[in-house]
Amino acid sequence: MNAILDEALFCHVGFSVRGQPFVLPMVHARIAEQLYIHGSIASRLLKRVKSRVNVCVTATLLDGLVLARSAFHHSMNYRSVVILGKAHELTDEAEKRLALTALVEHVLAGRSEVVRGPSKKELRATSVLRLPITEASAKIRGGPPLDDEADYALSCWAGVLPLHLRAAAPVPDPQLPATTALPPTLAAWSRGRASP
Amino acid sequence: MNAILDEALFCHVGFSVRGQPFVLPMVHARIAEQLYIHGSIASRLLKRVKSRVNVCVTATLLDGLVLARSAFHHSMNYRSVVILGKAHELTDEAEKRLALTALVEHVLAGRSEVVRGPSKKELRATSVLRLPITEASAKIRGGPPLDDEADYALSCWAGVLPLHLRAAAPVPDPQLPATTALPPTLAAWSRGRASP
């Protein structure tokens, strides 16, 4: 489960307001057995539900299209983690700082050391939720399609189309001086995450 | 919104059971203003909530990492759609057949014409939900980081790392005769979806 959470760049957070579920993409980072989630929605969400809320956090990695010989057995290869529990808003400044560092590092290792860290004002303006990874489950589908015995005689192509998240060439900020070097972690990014 | 829904290969469906939200990955397909969702969970979900259920369906496409000069302004470029409403279970066999065809075509155009279609038994064993796309919103973030004025003087690299879903070489089913030709739509798949 940790490997899936660490590889996923973002997750979907579900919460319920008066019986209506909402599902929103948010970024996350794991520190040991705690998941930290952050997004522009966090503050709006927290306004409604005060400082604790039942959530479901789901992170899904798509690994491929499973093309079977019958429509019925078409599927996808994927890895997903579902975490249930109560999320708490961080109030302690030191923990908030740790969580924000982890969130930046989760996106790109080493990044937090080269950028300006959060000011006190920015810390106050940022809502981060902490969810203990205690009630969690993982689901993984891998391998070829599983067809009905009789369908193996059909002549259509069957198998898996593997899918990966790949990085294209980094696009420098238009205001960046042309002499600014590209960090090696960024140039190497696609290797780290995209291997099968 | 249609473009995002059509490009996304799967979505996350949120529903609530006695105050506990659940978020699960499911495949979807759009026909005009209706979204059809399908997954192994559908039947379990429907057992609990009978034939109608408040859901939130969210489809998110990750387009890139936004690397700002401050930790605070780090972000992601993405496109997402959130649909709220009541999902209904399909009971009409003809509509179920249409929806299942759309679900297979959504994964790979032309696929439904070459595979064995669903039998009556398979149709009965398959739960498909229909959600009208009436209460929906899209959110898109694109472009470079937006830094605080003072931070533009910092020397760290800033910009966007574009990310795309790419297909690797198709992996034939181990039981596939070596003479079976690869469908052209499959060989071309990565071009269709992965352009920026």
Q: Are strands B52-67 and B75-89 parallel, antiparallel or unpaired?
A: antiparallel
Let me know: does B26 contact B106? Beta carbons within 8 Å: no
Q: Give B35's pLDDT tier (boundaries 50, 70, 90).
A: very high
Q: How many CB pairs under 8 A join A and B?
A: 282
Strand, helix or coil at B14?
A: strand
> What gap in Å lies between CA B160 and CA B171, rounded to an integer?
32
- With 70 as the cut, is the pLDDT of residue B149 above it? yes
Q: How far is A41 from chain B (nearest CA, A)?
A: 12
Strand, helix or coil at B39?
A: coil
The answer to whether the CB atoms of A115 and B175 lie below 8 A apart is: no
In a domain, B92, yes or no: yes
- Domain range for A120 is 2-146+161-166
In a domain, B158, yes or no: no
Contacts of B186 in chain A (CB under 8 A): 67, 157, 161
**Domains: count for chain A:** 1
In a domain, A130, yes or no: yes
Let me know: does A111 contact A185? Beta carbons within 8 Å: yes
| DSSP state, residue B115 | S
For the segment B116-140, what is each residue's pLDDT rounded down to a tens digit? Answer: 999 999 998 888 999 999 999 999 9
In a domain, A153, yes or no: no
The answer to whether the CB atoms of B74 and A186 lie below 8 A apart is: no
In a domain, A59, yes or no: yes
Most B CBs within 10 A among A10, A52, A173, hence the mutation to make, goes to A173
The answer to whether the CB atoms of B170 and A158 lie below 8 A apart is: no
In a domain, A43, yes or no: yes
In a domain, A179, yes or no: no
- ipTM for this prediction: 0.93
For the segment B95-119, what is each residue's pLDDT rounded down to a tens digit? Answer: 999 999 999 999 999 999 999 999 9
The answer to whether the CB atoms of A72 and B169 lie below 8 A apart is: no
Q: Give B45's pLDDT tier (boundaries 50, 70, 90).
A: low
> What gap in Å lies between CA A88 and CA A127, rounded to an integer?
10
The answer to whether the CB atoms of A19 and B54 lie below 8 A apart is: yes
Sign (positive or negative) of CA dihedral A151, A152, A158, A162 = positive
In a domain, A186, yes or no: no
A25 to A9, A70, A100, B11, B160: CA distances (angstroms): 10, 33, 17, 11, 19
Nearest by CB: B21 against A16, A78, A167? A16
B10 to B13, B37, B57: CA distances (angstroms): 10, 9, 10
| DSSP state, residue A180 | P
- With 90 as the cut, is the pLDDT of residue B160 above it? yes
DSSP assignment string, B41-105: HHHHHHHHHTTEEEEEEEEEEEEEEEE-SBGGG-EEEEEEEEEEEEEEE---HHHHHHHHHHHHH
Q: What is the CATH number of the domain that holds B21?
A: 2.30.110.10
Strands (E), chain A: 11-17, 20-31, 34-38, 52-67, 75-89, 128-132, 135-141, 159-167, 171-172
For the segment A139-157, what is each residue's pLDDT rounded down to a tens digit? Answer: 999 999 999 999 999 999 9
DSSP assignment string, B87-154: EEE---HHHHHHHHHHHHHHHSTTHHHHSBPPPHHHHHH--EEEEETTEEEEEEE-SS----GGGGGS
pTM for the model: 0.93
